[in-house]
Amino acid sequence: MLDKTLHIAIIPDGNRRWAKRFSLKPWQGHAQAMKNSRALIEWCFHNPRISALSLWGFSTENWNRSQEEVDNLMRIYVEWLQSQRSLLMENEIRFVHSGRMDRIPKDLASLIQNLTHETEGFSKFTLNFALDYGGRDEVARAIQKISEPALVTEQSFRQYLDHPELPDIDLVIRTSGEHRTSGFFIWQAAYAEWHFEKKYFPDLTPEDLGRALEDYDQRQRRFGK
């Protein structure tokens, strides 16, 4: 049996363009994206090689969007997390959050904290939800925690990140045909392989994830060697 060690991450891009294609409001694209994520999470959970999935929900830059869109996004995340509780509990999936907690609505923050607490003892699989997350912001927050910066090494710096216990990311999948990294887990994904998918995220299927993993398997990871 293959070791369950891979950490997969997804940048779910193209939700608004998907909505525009169907003459829908932007947040309706986000709602469809979160609905679609369930099948992808389940596929990763059942894959014998994958131990963790990081999913980017909202970046630190997304606050620049209209207040109406942001408000609807926060509502969607509350509804989505509530709907995922049974999946997490029944399958013993550990839920963690990466990013800031001080700017999101209190009901959403409370829900995140509750799910984190309820699932903290699970070890089969980890779902890492990045909300109000930015790679530069995470590094800046990590630096603020350091009392003796002169003594910091690459290895010791890791302990100041949001989740130092998670393994580095092996494969990042970005949808919608964009070829930017957008500061996504810039420390943890430093040696990750990237797969750029043309589909908008609401159209992404487990079969697409399978093909991305097949593509990953064709690559030789040298890590500077």
Q: Which amino acid type is present at position 48?
A: P
* Catalytic residue from among 15, 36, 47, 62: 62
107 is catalytic: no
128 is catalytic: no
* Catalytic residue from among 3, 13, 114, 128: 13
Which residues are part of the catalytic machinery? 13, 62
